[in-house]
């Protein structure tokens, strides 16, 4: 069976996720599992990384002549995936098109109903499900015996049963990075799962953390450096330092392997899961930035998030990072349930006081499968759902929701003011200039949205 995996072109090219300098980790994991079991040939088309349009993707499909095409999509990517699948079906209706990713996992039936070009959907962890599906297709067997699918049957769809999450991640094939163009930056995962219950997160990997062995992790890092020339990793773990003992052991193993000096990396974690000693060890192992989900500067909103974050704990984490010499990244959200201008301004005040090396202000996205998404659908929490389609569900450049107390324009105005305040009120003029140049396209997009009231044109075009 010839299998082609595709990361579809972006809707519009505005930020680093539309034109990334790193390959798509999910497709690498899927391809690695297929190859580890002798399935193939397998190829990957990462349209975002390779800056490909729809026509170029279709040319690659024709050249490879796949039996099965697998596409991956988050919510704000599913329209683009649907368009790629439709073009493939027009070119060769015999190709089996499979959609995977968080959007179809959360909305299986509606996704299949909305996008008729998808033959099948893979729900949840995709590696084993896709491997078994391709094997059964190659043997001419009954795909309904493969758990973890949603299958189109005439005008109806049928789920084939729940696929248990992969408990032992070491049993999966190593990511097939050789199927992508070489890169200097890679997304990397040492574990999956997050025990916290943030109302704005769908938690795609489940509440129970599942860890890869330290030796497997370090071996892959060494391979990325030696074989592919990797110089930067972004750790995709939801809470990188969740297990303190494991974190310390991993840092020691990375140091023994000689990775510091060759490899720099960034990670995100929880305010409760860092201290000076851990951060010092991370610094020694090559960490160049630690990001923390602070979310809000309003104590009442923080309490309602049930995340265990307090203003005092945030400042303590900031001090620990400064003492360890690790740059600190603050991740903020504007537009929490019942947010007001005053509560949002407190978030900006906290960001200014933290004076983080990197501050990100996102506007709330009511993703399907989240509590915030349910509230927005019901008009609770002061929300008004204004999305026209799934392309509006982007984290930095979406247009999905506003509040009774804060219009969409006001939310985006606060977003722009926040970036200005952090740098200018702290006298960081050089950083302001660098920030403006690095994110000039994002800044232009924000300016256009503010000037036009959020109206966008040429929807669905890459």
Residues 20 and 137 in one domain: yes
pLDDT digits (tens, 9 = 90+) for 148-199: 999 998 889 999 999 999 999 999 999 999 999 999 899 999 999 999 989 9
User: Distance between CA atoms of 67 and 274, rounded to whole angstroms?
Assistant: 47
Could you tell me if residue 175 is inside a domain? no
**433-445 average pLDDT score:** 72
Could you tell me if residue 138 is inside a domain? yes
Burial per residue of 409-433, b for 16 or more beta-carbon CB atoms within 10 angstroms, e otherwise: ebbbbbbeebbebbbeebeeeeebe
Could you tell me if residue 166 is inside a domain? no
Model confidence at 393: pLDDT above 90: yes
* Res 446: pLDDT: 65
Could you tell me if residue 311 is inside a domain? yes
Residues 155 and 216 in one domain: no
**378-395 average pLDDT score:** 94
* Res 209: pLDDT: 94
The 3-state DSSP class for residue 103 equals helix
For CA atoms 173, 178, 180, 185, the dihedral sign is: positive
Residues 153 and 197 in one domain: no
Out of 141, 159, 177, pick the residue that ends a domain: 159
**256-267 average pLDDT score:** 96
Cα three-residue angle 225-274-29, rounded to 5 degrees: 35
CATH of the domain at 143: 3.40.50.280
Residues 291 and 377 in one domain: yes
**435-449 average pLDDT score:** 68
User: Distance between CA atoms of 257 and 266, rounded to whole angstroms?
Assistant: 18
Could you tell me if residue 105 is inside a domain? yes
CATH of the domain at 215: 3.20.20.70
HSE at residue 28, side-chain half, CA atoms within 13 A, is 20
Residues 405 and 448 in one domain: yes
Write out the residue range of the structural domain in which residue 446 sits.
189-452
Helices (H) and strands (E) in the chain, counts: 17, 17
Model confidence at 458: pLDDT above 50: no
Nearest to 272 by CA among 300, 323, 312, 301: 312
Both tokens of 124, joined, read 């949840």
Of 19-33, 341-355, 443-457, the least confident: 443-457
* Res 12: pLDDT: 80
**338-348 average pLDDT score:** 97
Out of 159, 175, 203, pick the residue that ends a domain: 159
User: Distance between CA atoms of 190 and 116, rounded to whole angstroms?
Assistant: 36
pLDDT digits (tens, 9 = 90+) for 196-255: 989 999 988 998 999 999 999 999 999 999 999 999 999 999 999 999 999 999 999 999
* Res 462: pLDDT: 39
Could you tell me if residue 372 is inside a domain? yes
Largest CA distance in the chain: 67
- 94 burial (CB, 10 Å; 0-12 / 13-18 / 19+) is exposed
**269-297 average pLDDT score:** 97
**At 384, which helix (H) or strand (E)?**
strand 383-385
Residues 139 and 58 in one domain: yes
Residues 256 and 154 in one domain: no
**105-110 average pLDDT score:** 97
Residues 224 and 353 in one domain: yes
**130-146 average pLDDT score:** 97
Residues 138 and 199 in one domain: no
Residues 45 and 83 in one domain: yes
* Res 179: pLDDT: 98
Nearest to 143 by CA among 118, 161, 160: 160
The 3-state DSSP class for residue 231 equals coil
The CA-to-CA distance between both ends of the chain, in Å, stands at 30
Residues 351 and 408 in one domain: yes
307 contact partners, CB below 8 Å, separation of at least 6: 196, 197, 198, 270, 293, 295
Out of 138, 159, 180, pick the residue that ends a domain: 159
Paired with 360 in beta bridges are 331
Residues 227 and 328 in one domain: yes
pLDDT band at 306 (very low <50, low <70, confident <90, very high): confident
Could you tell me if residue 171 is inside a domain? no
Could you tell me if residue 118 is inside a domain? yes
Model confidence at 331: pLDDT above 70: yes
Model confidence at 454: pLDDT above 80: no
Residue in the structure block whose two tokens are 């953390």: 209
pLDDT digits (tens, 9 = 90+) for 67-105: 999 999 999 999 999 999 999 999 999 999 999 999 999
165 contact partners, CB below 8 Å, separation of at least 6: 124, 125, 192, 205, 206, 208, 210
Domains identified in the chain, total number: 2
* Res 457: pLDDT: 40
* Res 121: pLDDT: 98
Cα three-residue angle 228-230-235, rounded to 5 degrees: 125
């Amino acid at each position: 069976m010839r299998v082609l995996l595709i990361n579809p072109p972006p809707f519009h090219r505005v930020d680093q996720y539309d034109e990334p300098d790193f390959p798509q980790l999910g497709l690498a994991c899927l391809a690695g599992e297929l190859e580890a079991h002798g399935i193939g040939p397998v190829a990957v088309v990462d349209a975002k990384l390779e800056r490909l349009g729809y026509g170029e993707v279709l040319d690659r499909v024709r050249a490879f002549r796949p039996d099965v095409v697998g596409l991956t999509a988050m919510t704000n990517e599913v329209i683009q995936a649907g368009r790629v699948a439709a073009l493939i079906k027009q070119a060769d209706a015999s190709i089996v098109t499979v959609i995977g990713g968080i959007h179809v996992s959360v909305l299986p039936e509606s996704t299949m109903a909305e996008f008729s070009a998808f033959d099948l959907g893979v729900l949840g962890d995709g590696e084993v499900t896709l491997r078994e599906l391709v094997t059964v297709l190659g043997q001419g067997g009954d795909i309904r015996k493969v758990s973890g699918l949603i299958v189109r049957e005439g005008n109806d769809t049928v789920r084939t049963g729940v696929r248990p999450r992969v408990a032992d991640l070491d049993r999966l094939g190593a990511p097939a990075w050789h199927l992508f163009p070489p890169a200097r930056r890679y997304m990397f995962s040492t574990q999956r799962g997050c025990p916290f219950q943030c109302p704005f997160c769908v938690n795609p990997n489940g509440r129970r953390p599942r860890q890869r062995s330290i030796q497997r992790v370090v071996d892959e890092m060494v391979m990325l450096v030696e074989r592919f020339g990797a110089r930067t990793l972004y750790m995709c773990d939801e809470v990188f330092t969740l297990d303190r003992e494991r974190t310390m052991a991993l840092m020691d193993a990375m140091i023994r392997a000689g990775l510091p000096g060759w490899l720099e990396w960034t990670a995100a974690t929880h305010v409760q899961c860092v201290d000076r000693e851990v951060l010092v060890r991370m610094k020694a192992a090559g960490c160049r930035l630690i990001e923390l989900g602070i979310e809000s500067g309003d104590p009442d909103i923080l309490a309602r998030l049930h995340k265990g974050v307090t203003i005092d704990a945030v400042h303590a984490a900031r001090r620990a990072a400064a003492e360890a010499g690790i740059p600190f990244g603050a991740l903020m959200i504007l537009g929490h349930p019942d947010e007001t201008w005053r509560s949002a301004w407190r978030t900006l005040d906290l960001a200014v006081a933290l004076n983080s090396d990197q501050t990100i202000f996102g506007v709330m996205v009511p993703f399907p499968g989240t509590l915030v998404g349910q509230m927005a659908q019901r008009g609770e929490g002061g929300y008004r759902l204004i999305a026209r389609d799934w392309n509006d569900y982007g984290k930095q450049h979406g247009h999905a929701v506003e509040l009774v107390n804060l219009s969409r324009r006001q939310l985006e105005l606060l977003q722009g003011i926040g970036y200005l305040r952090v740098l200018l009120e702290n006298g960081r003029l050089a950083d302001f200039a660098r920030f403006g140049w690095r994110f000039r396209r994002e800044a232009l997009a924000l300016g256009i949205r503010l000037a036009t009231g959020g109206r966008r044109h040429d929807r669905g075009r890459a």
